[in-house]
Structure 1
Amino acid sequence: MEPREVQTVQDARLIVEERGLSHVKIGLFDNDGVMRGKYMSREKFFSSLDNGFSFCDVVLGWDMQDQLYDNVSYTGWHTAFPDAPVRILPASCRDIPFEDGMLLFLAEFAGTAEAVCPRGVLRRVIDRAADMGFAAFAALEYEFFLFDETPDSVRQKNFTNLKPMTPGWFGYSMLRNSTHAGLYHEMIDLANAMDFPLEGIHTETGPGVIEAAITVDGALNAADKGALFKTFLKVFAQRHDIMATFMAKWSNDYPGQSGHIHLSLRHSKDHTSAFYDNQKQHNMSDIQLQFVAGQQKLMPQLLCMLAPTVNSYSRLIPGFWAPTDATWGIDNRTTALRVIPGSEKSQRVEHRVGAADANPYLALAAALGAGLYGIAKGWQPEPCTSGNAYAQKHAEHLALPKTLWEAAQTLKTSAAARELFGDSFVAHFAATREWEEREFRKHITDWELQRYFEII
């Protein structure tokens, strides 16, 4: 049996038995999209397939550096960090090609933890789409930089003066991808082996930067694939004695790294596109107009789900391929929402605000949920933006929050967010972003020292 054939609990047992594995690998994703997990014995795995297992809920109560939040109610010292129930997802079975037949299974939180579980949040939005008669499809694109560095060397250098894998500005370079063809082929092979196949991969503008587009799939599968791609691309790089970063902006000298989201809806009853109408301008159906309107109107309120770190807001500046207002346009890469006219199969919208550092589950939940909200409300979008959106003045209510703290406050007070994602999630995630901003404020930057130390 092949991993892609696994669908049921019985299938999961069978493939483990066929491979004679003593252990399998189990993983799930935390608030920041960081994969947490462990090796689990065969006997424990078989039992957990039927009954679930327990995972310390601290992984929802600490940040990406394992520091405990001091401002959340879901878990903490006040609850003594109990175990939370977790369910294994048999159909998520994947090979780990460099671990000699080892299998990976994804899991997600259940019980009360499900309310704040990132995968659970997205699944509830997808259920909303189904209740409205739609199936959601998505494709995620990620930009990342590769460096001739190791985890030890970047710390020895204090994360400064790092050496990119290749020098210069070589966007879409056949020179670079031919010179390093072996590395590209191995990335493509890894993506195929682990079932997050790439539709395309190429160099982007900047030293050592690559963009990879993951093949379209149903929205939940697309998020799984995005989260696994980010995790195992970093593993792949370190196994090759290089490093990958998905930071939104690692240097002010180069454009930031995006995590663009392509979205479309199809009618569940007949699988036809809900976005395509060849009788309308740009083939945009009334449903797609309403979807774009929802994304546009709620973008400022949901921004911290798409731009979740302090660093995310260094990317959202004019002229660097990242939007600063909730604008939309037709095939316009200067707007926040790029409607891509096409055929019945390809008509879609690209959400261009999301950064590469976003949690794929939460970024997709925000982009999809906002669109569905617009359909439910029958909203119409603001006038379409033509030309360079950066050079134009836009309505004040289309302005995006400028800091993570501001974005967290906007999420916290959003009635739409609470309706879409639930009070528990909104309160928990907004608090985690407030924590992230406060952690940043505890530190003195190089810029402050250089600016103030002597002269002030």
Structure 2
Amino acid sequence: MRFIDLLLHDLNGVDRGKRVDLASARQVFTQGLLLPGSMFALDVPGETVQSTGLGFDEGDADRPCLPVPGTLVEVPWLDHGVAQAQITMHERDGAPFECDPRHLLARVLERFRPLGLTPVVAIELEFYLIDRELTPAGLPQPPRSPLTGRREYRTQINSMLDIDACSRVLAAIDHACHVQDVPSTTSLAEYGPGQYEVNLAHVADALTACDQAARFRRIVKCVARHHGMEATFLAKPYADMAGSGLHVHVNLVDGDGRNVFADENPLGSEVMRHAAAGMLSTMADGMAIFAPQANSWRRFRREAYVPLTADWSVNNRGAALRVPVSGAAARRLEHRVAGADANPYLVTSWVLGGILKGIEEGREPPPPVDGNLYKDGVARGEPLPAYWPAALDRFEASAFARELLGERLHRLFAEVKRAELHDFSCIVTPGEIAHLLPAL
């Protein structure tokens, strides 16, 4: 190896960092890599949100970033001797930097220890392969099939022909996952043209599960580029096609490795029902985390297998919280709200924080629902915020959010998202001009 890429997962889930030579890397692994704390005050385009206090107010001060043990892996899509490792930011006295979402998840996991419980987590991510060339309107378009040379605009869920058409890039993604210790298990064609889902195995360490999800997103984007395509985890790249989600599967095991959600009843054990109640009761407050971008909100539409209310159900993909079909020993909950553009560390922290709240307070969930949740009168749960400003209002006012994230990270996230909302609101889009110009 000649170089090591040191990757810091920022507030928006964007990988930032530096490439260092092997000689410099030895010092990094003992003393850390210096990066400014403003890495966590960046909006998606990469501009520092000054109202966070992490820019000019502290002189863009550096903090040490230390490698995460077990994340040093080869980069198989590059042929000039590159490895990578994930890093986390610390204060200069060695304390965890409160604005790093990975440290938040570590704090949440510590709260399970007195309960004698360990979360087992699996993350599902959907993504689109798209053409390198955008349309004349600047929008994404499906890639040309490597087999036929045609662009496919149709949708065929679970189509094996679609898997075959992109088998080379999917095989390369699977190979890179194997090399980088990302436990990919199943690939499938989703509802949109060029849309795929790759399932990652359940892991009895939520930090590791999120580290793997972060590596997976980098794998997909980099491998696609090396195969003449691009990949996107945008929640809604096409207005009239399916959106992409980030689903979190979770159960809890005790000190003997026994699943405490296990029960022959599909609604699970008493502990599982407490967990479900906590997840449902905190769901609306967390929508700003589950849908962190303006585009995220395009995904929430009726009859799109995207939840609109805080309901739970058995084997129903229209529900926010689904109990998948399984044997008693594999009983688990699937949280289906977040988009693929969300930060996995923040989403998982919120999901687990809700579980803790439900268990610690002994909460009981509402009755599960069944049937078409998009029909009037079927859904009974609290409506989830339907727009970005409403979600930010709810998040900023949430005592649960402040308690879970801590004052500093809570304020940081709100400031960055308010700035992004303001900037997006100032953009004049081609769509609104086309909609309004003929009449006004």
Do both proteins adopt the same fold according to a TM-score greater than 0.5, normalized to the shorter chain?
yes
* In 1: Cα distance, 2:246 partner to 2:288 partner: 14
Structure 2 counterpart of 1:214, from 200, 215, 221: 200
In structure 2, the partner of 1:265 is 252
* In 2: Cα distance, 1:369 partner to 1:161 partner: 36
Identical counterparts, % of pairs: 28
Structure 1 counterpart of 2:184, from 167, 191, 198: 198
Structure 1 counterpart of 2:331, from 337, 347, 366: 347
* In 2: Cα distance, 1:270 partner to 1:113 partner: 30
Q: What is the CA deviation profile of residues 27-69 of structure 1, one whole-angstrom value per residue up to 9, with x for unaligned ones?
A: 1100000011211233332223223232122211211211121
Q: What is the CA deviation profile of residues 379-420 of structure 1, one whole-angstrom value per residue up to 9, with x for unaligned ones?
A: 111111111111144788711111222212211111112222
Within the alignment, does 1:170 sit opposite 2:149 as a pair? no
Measure how far apart 1:276 and its partner are.
0.8
* In 1: Cα distance, 2:180 partner to 2:22 partner: 21
In structure 2, the partner of 1:248 is 235
Structure 2 counterpart of 1:450, from 400, 421, 434: 434
In structure 2, the partner of 1:77 is 56
**Equivalent residue letter for 1:383:** P
Measure how far apart 1:132 and its partner are.
2.4
Secondary structure of 1:390 counterpart = coil
* In 1: Cα distance, 2:381 partner to 2:303 partner: 21
Contact 2:311 2:380 in 1 (8 A): no
- After TM superposition, the score normalised by the length of structure 2 is 0.92
In structure 1, the partner of 2:77 is 98
* In 1: Cα distance, 2:52 partner to 2:136 partner: 35
Within the alignment, does 1:229 sit opposite 2:229 as a pair? no
Summarize the Cα distance change of 1:427–1:305 in structure 2 as closer, same or farther, 3 Å threshold: same
Number of residues paired by the alignment?
428
Contact 1:272 1:344 in 2 (8 A): no
Summarize the Cα distance change of 1:186–1:23 in structure 2 as closer, same or farther, 3 Å threshold: closer
- Pairing 1:180-199 to 2, within 5 Å after superposition: 180-199=166-185
Measure how far apart 1:113 and its partner are.
6.4
**Equivalent residue letter for 1:115:** E
**Equivalent residue letter for 1:136:** P
* In 2: Cα distance, 1:311 partner to 1:107 partner: 28
Contact 2:142 2:193 in 1 (8 A): no
Measure how far apart 1:169 and its partner are.
1.1
Within the alignment, does 1:327 sit opposite 2:311 as a pair? yes
* In 1: Cα distance, 2:378 partner to 2:361 partner: 23
Contact 1:283 1:342 in 2 (8 A): no
Structure 2 counterpart of 1:402, from 386, 390, 397: 386
Measure how far apart 1:116 and its partner are.
1.1
In structure 1, the partner of 2:138 is 159
* In 2: Cα distance, 1:270 partner to 1:396 partner: 37
* In 1: Cα distance, 2:410 partner to 2:378 partner: 28
In structure 2, the partner of 1:56 is 36
In structure 2, the partner of 1:10 is none
In structure 2, the partner of 1:315 is 299
- Pairing 1:89-168 to 2, within 5 Å after superposition: 89-100=68-79, 101-111=81-91, 114-149=97-132, 153-154=133-134, 157-160=136-139, 162-165=141-144, 166-167=151-152, 168=154
* In 2: Cα distance, 1:178 partner to 1:455 partner: 47
* In 2: Cα distance, 1:131 partner to 1:86 partner: 29
Summarize the Cα distance change of 1:395–1:319 in structure 2 as closer, same or farther, 3 Å threshold: closer
* In 1: Cα distance, 2:336 partner to 2:249 partner: 9
Contact 1:145 1:164 in 2 (8 A): no
In structure 2, the partner of 1:14 is none
* In 2: Cα distance, 1:443 partner to 1:410 partner: 24
* In 1: Cα distance, 2:382 partner to 2:174 partner: 39
In structure 1, the partner of 2:271 is 287
Measure how far apart 1:188 and its partner are.
1.3
Measure how far apart 1:119 and its partner are.
0.9
* In 2: Cα distance, 1:440 partner to 1:80 partner: 27
* 133-142 or 396-405: bigger deviation: 396-405
Contact 2:2 2:82 in 1 (8 A): no
Q: What is the CA deviation profile of residues 63-90 of structure 1, one whole-angstrom value per residue up to 9, with x for unaligned ones?
A: 12111213313x0212111001211123
**Equivalent residue letter for 1:349:** L
Contact 2:3 2:20 in 1 (8 A): yes
Contact 1:58 1:76 in 2 (8 A): yes
In structure 1, the partner of 2:8 is 28
Contact 1:404 1:434 in 2 (8 A): no
Q: What is the CA deviation profile of residues 293-318 of structure 1, one whole-angstrom value per residue up to 9, with x for unaligned ones?
A: 01101000011111111111111111
Contact 1:276 1:283 in 2 (8 A): no
- After TM superposition, the score normalised by the length of structure 1 is 0.89
* In 2: Cα distance, 1:232 partner to 1:219 partner: 20
* In 2: Cα distance, 1:326 partner to 1:357 partner: 20
**Equivalent residue letter for 2:120:** F
* In 2: Cα distance, 1:395 partner to 1:388 partner: 8
**Equivalent residue letter for 2:258:** T
In structure 1, the partner of 2:65 is 86
Contact 1:125 1:421 in 2 (8 A): no
Contact 1:326 1:400 in 2 (8 A): yes
**Equivalent residue letter for 2:169:** L
Contact 1:25 1:38 in 2 (8 A): yes
Secondary structure of 1:139 counterpart = strand
Please provide the CA RMSD for this pair. 1.9
Contact 1:337 1:350 in 2 (8 A): yes
Measure how far apart 1:134 and its partner are.
1.2
Summarize the Cα distance change of 1:189–1:395 in structure 2 as closer, same or farther, 3 Å threshold: closer
In structure 2, the partner of 1:13 is none
* In 2: Cα distance, 1:243 partner to 1:99 partner: 16
* In 1: Cα distance, 2:377 partner to 2:99 partner: 37
